[in-house]
Structure 1
Amino acid sequence: MALVNEFEKQGNFLFRFRGQLPILLFLLAVPFLYWTDTSSISKYLKNFYSYCAVILSIIGFCIRAYTVGSTPKGTSGRNTKEQKAFVLNTTGIYSIVRHPLYLGNYFLWIGIVVFTFNPYFIVVVSLLYWIYYERIMYAEERFLERKFGEEYLSWSCSIPAFIPNLKLYKPSIISFSLKTVLRREYSGVLATVIGFVFVEVIRHYFSVGEWYISSSYIYLLLVVSVIVLLLRTLKHHTALLSEDGRS
């Protein structure tokens, strides 16, 4: 099998299971947390890591929110069985980067990784993320090339795949929809919060030998869980978050 076909085959396979990648991230974090000697890390450095971690994850959420909130129906979906696209996005965030959702995911997850206080884990996850999503991006682009032909080739030749070029920005053809963001992104926010809490709980266990979760983390989990439950209910049982022409 030609290498290009093998890459595409691998990408389509990985595409179907990309939603399970955070689980692998959590499992991989455990040994790195075990190997991290937090007693040798100064309070200043811990605070620095923590603030950077939160900021990175917020950046990731903002990228994802802007992407899903300003793109039309038929693109940027959560489909897992196969590639789908009815419209080629070339404006808004897609005018500066070809894969904004994967860029947003990277920032979301690398924030959790930074929170482990282990620089080696940051490097390992970054490399694994690139290897994993490089195949997926390749498969997606092959699909889009076949579907949209010269229109896709013309757009992709001038737009970077992963590192945005802000100078190329063109306003989106549709307005930003907060309803779409609320309808589609609540699960990602919950997963991110759970990720931070997971790291803190495991780190505390390895440090002092007992399971403990602080009241602040409990309150955070409760608040986010209630909001997620409310949004999920509105999504599945009402039309309050629905909008025509949106995914």
Structure 2
Amino acid sequence: MIALLIVFSGLALRATVIGYAYIKRGGLKKRVYASDLVTEGMFGVCRNPLYVGNMLVYAGVFLLHGNPTVVIVGIALFMFIYQCIVYAEEAFLEDKFGDAYRAYCADVPRWMLRFSNFAQATHGMVFNVKRVIAKDYSTVSAALLAVLLIEIYRAAGAANALSLPYISLLGFFMAVVGAATGMVSLLEKRGVFNDPKAIS
């Protein structure tokens, strides 16, 4: 139960981030890239809220798996990966935005969520549900499928009279998630969730 709460907390955090201010993280032509310094929305609460959300999802999935080695190695690996990514991004942003970025760093934590900043950071903003669906449906789908697959794995290992009906039910839920994902993907390609005001 705790593992599932962690997974859904991560998904909820990602949804909150994207709903208020979406930015494309990563790079352009395999190099760190950013056209604007985004400090509003959840980026006024934490400098890397999407990464925090991702790590919560990963941690919850690993905990649900239950193998101590998987939990320790998995969480440690992703923490290391994201720390390296953040260091590279911070160096780029400081070089590009200078004092503005340094002031931002002084006010907003790298990893912790400073909720006391939330009201000011989201003042005047409107939560965009369509953008959340369009940008994050694949992440939600992947997380749900991972949870269901792990539960099937655990049920298969239990080998009792209830295993087969339970596994069948989980398989049905996987089919529902897959169908819903396909439907949202189709609607997204047709422009139903278009958001011309998204920050890129």
TM-score range, shorter chain: 0.7 to 0.9
Q: Partners in 2 of 1:233 and 1:77 — Cα distance?
A: 24
Equivalent residue, structure 2, for 1:223:
176
Equivalent residue, structure 1, for 2:134:
183
Specify the code of the residue in structure 1 equivalent to 2:6: L
Equivalent residue, structure 2, for 1:164:
113
2:82 is the alignment partner of 1:133: yes
Deviation at 1:96, TM superposition (A): 1.6
Runs of 4 or more consecutive aligned structure 1 residues displaced over 6 Å after TM superposition = none
Deviation at 1:191, TM superposition (A): 1.1
Q: Summarize the Cα distance change of 1:171–1:160 in structure 2 as closer, same or farther, 3 Å threshold.
A: closer
Q: Partners in 1 of 2:180 and 2:156 — Cα distance?
A: 29
Q: TM-score, normalised by structure 1?
A: 0.70
Equivalent residue, structure 2, for 1:13:
none
Q: Which runs of 5+ in 2 are unaligned?
A: none
Count matched residues: 193
Query: How much identity, in percent, do the aligned residues show?
Result: 25
Contact 2:45 2:121 in 1 (8 A): no
Write out aligned runs for 1:3-152 (5 A): 51-72=1-22, 75-77=23-25, 81-152=30-101
Q: Summarize the Cα distance change of 1:76–1:197 in structure 2 as closer, same or farther, 3 Å threshold.
A: same
Q: Partners in 2 of 1:186 and 1:86 — Cα distance?
A: 25
**Pairing partner for 1:201 from 152, 156, 177:** 152
Q: Summarize the Cα distance change of 1:99–1:59 in structure 2 as closer, same or farther, 3 Å threshold.
A: same
Deviation at 1:82, TM superposition (A): 3.0
Specify the code of the residue in structure 2 equivalent to 1:71: A
Q: Partners in 2 of 1:189 and 1:216 — Cα distance?
A: 20
* Alpha-carbon displacement from aligned partner over 1:154-185 (angstroms, at most 9, x marks no partner): 10122111111222322325321111111111
Contact 1:97 1:163 in 2 (8 A): yes
Q: Summarize the Cα distance change of 1:181–1:223 in structure 2 as closer, same or farther, 3 Å threshold.
A: same
Q: TM-score, normalised by structure 2?
A: 0.85
